[in-house]
């Protein structure tokens, strides 16, 4: 797979933004889940 990418730089240019966007979205989802869990836990403690 790496050899194919090095032979076709266009595919690397197309794959790079997809990978970047995926990492960005996964990071946002993980942060949102962490905030939601903190609110959920703190909400239980107040009861």
User: Which tokens in the block code for residue 1?
Assistant: 């797979």
pLDDT at position 45 is 52
pLDDT digits (tens, 9 = 90+) for 21-36: 999 999 999 999 888 8
pLDDT at position 2 is 66
Mean pLDDT estimate for the chain: 81
pLDDT at position 17 is 92
Mean pLDDT of the region 36-44: 71
> Rounded to the nearest 10 degrees, how much is the dihedral formed by the CA atoms of 38, 39, 45, 47?
-170
pLDDT at position 20 is 96
């Amino acid at each position: 797979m790496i050899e194919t990418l090095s032979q076709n730089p266009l595919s690397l240019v197309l794959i790079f933004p997809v990978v970047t966007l995926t990492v960005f979205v996964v990071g946002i989802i993980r942060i949102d889940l962490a905030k939601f869990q903190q609110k959920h836990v703190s909400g239980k403690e107040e009861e």
